[in-house]
Chains A and B, each alone.
Chain A
């Protein structure tokens, strides 16, 4: 595909940056009379400085412009659409997306030669079948194009074109200006090294703040959607109601409690599996295994952590579930001759498999923590005539306990947030039950099912997913903070 105007702008900035680098470097050398010992910084620093001034502001403005332009243009085009077009049951947002689609279609048609640039600007629905022209280049439209929509789309294109043109001018000018300024200040006394240092610092701060801002953004978006949900649905039902029965015709029971029950029940079973096995594995690896066994067994155990959770889900559905059914189900044909379990999906299935998934998590963290217990503790215990297992039980584990609790809490927060295993292994029935052989459902499973399929983002049945997600987030965040606090407190004890 040929480069768009924006592509050429990026190319121009890069060229300007490279040119600025070399020009600043050679200017620095020449102001020092060829003796680079007279320069404040190494010549390359002058180059980096100029390159930085050329590229950073230009790319910054480019990015902001690219983000802001569609919003501004959409706002102005918006006013062109008369009330009549916004028909019953539809909204301005939908009409706007039609406008965008027609505008894109016109672009593609021009690119493929189905229309000339001039035709695209002046075409009228009265004279030509715009829908079939756009259809011929691969842009299918749901209905015939209204003249107003077409006009809005043409306006949209025209404004975009002007905007992009001015953006190119501004950005390239900015790059040139920055480069010129940096080259102008370059002389033997200019402290380019310090400027580059500040640039490096700014880059690192930017990376750190992007990560944090993204988190804040995610939380805020969840928060706003949750607020929307609570406008449509009573919060008392969400937090204190007793049943989960979404109904897409409206009037649903949307209570988190049955889901929370399923989530916690499955997580508890998973931890009952993962904590003893993981902890014992960690004790063996860190206390008894020789260096050879350890170096072989530890990576093998950690392979478990690399298996995608969807694979665990399949394992639950196809292997563990049927195996459990053959033990607890099938009446006389089963191993126990009972008929307690009807389907492969059950709390126990999901819990067992999730427990297996968490084993490496618990063992790897506990192993690190047990290794951090100073050898002098073990020596002290051995020196008093304690056996190895007495030493572990009475000295090593109590010393490592806070860290192990932290590891278990981290594992718990993974279990609560786990999705694929429960989607495949736990079933879809929301209920309060103590029977681990019954199918139950979890918060994550319901989020998936509320948001898949044909959804309308204005109904409480869909928006409840955000409230569920937010609750889940708060829950796991709390567990993580608690776990990290405990682990950190423990670390301080020995350092």
Chain B
């Protein structure tokens, strides 16, 4: 067990969902992630914090192999989800991404109707046997993303016509609709106003009951509000990882303290 996790408390379960060991990421010659070990627990919100360019988004994208789409990117080390090595040759990254959903920094609804946006994942993975079942999946996903009441009367309207906060919740609904086990969120609130941010944060807390949620954020208040565990990245290193309360009140590493108090970053 990693010694940084000694102080953990207040976590619902101790099941480890994602285990990363010795992860190195290179962008061409640039060594972006240096030897990161981390265990992410099931049904927990884990926040990645750190200054811009510290590698937290890069590491997040390793967890569903989104870095495969970048030509110059190279990943070394082991990442296991439920004990299975996701970088094994037999693993289909396309299947993996259905299991590990992702919500992006900028809301990116497809140029389709709200309904088709949410039904996109279930359709390509064949999750619904018929139209009625698909309708149900879409409604459930929209309800879980707390946007159902706002869009139920205009499911055929284009998703791009919603407001920024609604678009982001639509994207969350879209990710939830494929029934992932892990939900990765890359700064999901950076393009939203405080009201929409509050709605999304509330939503993240609810999603914790079913999923392991990993969220990258620049806002330390947000990390403190929504997460149970926090990891601090700096210059490609995982500096400190532990109970959110401890990281913010009693950091062990001087760099963590400097960042949290606003001296570096």
Taking Cβ atoms with an 8 Å cutoff, the residues of A that contact B are: 290-291, 374, 376-387, 390, 394-395, 398-399, 493
Contacts and interface: CB of A to CB of B under 8 A. Distances in A.
B106 A395 contact: no
Nearest 7 CB-CB pairings of A with B = A385-B98, A383-B102, A376-B108, A385-B97, A384-B121, A380-B108, A399-B111
Interface in B97-142: 97-99, 101-104, 106, 108-112, 120-121, 124-125
Main secondary structure on chain B at its contact with chain A? helix
B16 to A, nearest CB: 23
Contacts of B112: 398
Interface in B27-74: 64, 66, 69, 71
Interface string B76-113: 00000000000000000011111101111010111110
A384 B178 contact: yes
Contacts of A493: 111, 160
A415 B40 CA distance: 60
B97 to A, nearest CB: 4
B69 to A, nearest CB: 6
B244 to A, nearest CB: 26
Contacts of B18: none
Contacts of A399: 110-111
Contacts of B66: 379, 382-383
B171 interface: yes
B32 to A, nearest CB: 18
Interface string B165-207: 0000001001100100000000000000000000000000000
A345 B120 CA distance: 49
29 contacts: A374-B108, A377-B108, A378-B69, A379-B66, A379-B104, A379-B108, A380-B108, A380-B109, A382-B66, A382-B97, A383-B103, A384-B97, A384-B101, A384-B121, A384-B175, A384-B178, A385-B98, A385-B99, A385-B121, A385-B125, A386-B120, A386-B121, A394-B110, A394-B124, A395-B111, A398-B110, A398-B112, A399-B110, A399-B111
B207 to A, nearest CB: 16
A290 B111 contact: no
B98 A384 contact: yes
Contact of A382 (B69, B111, B174, B178): B69
A290 B111 CA distance: 27
B101 to A, nearest CB: 7
B120 A379 contact: no
A377 B159 CA distance: 12
A488 B178 CA distance: 35
B191 to A, nearest CB: 11
Given A376-B106, A390-B124, A394-B120, A383 B97 contact: yes
B178 A385 contact: yes
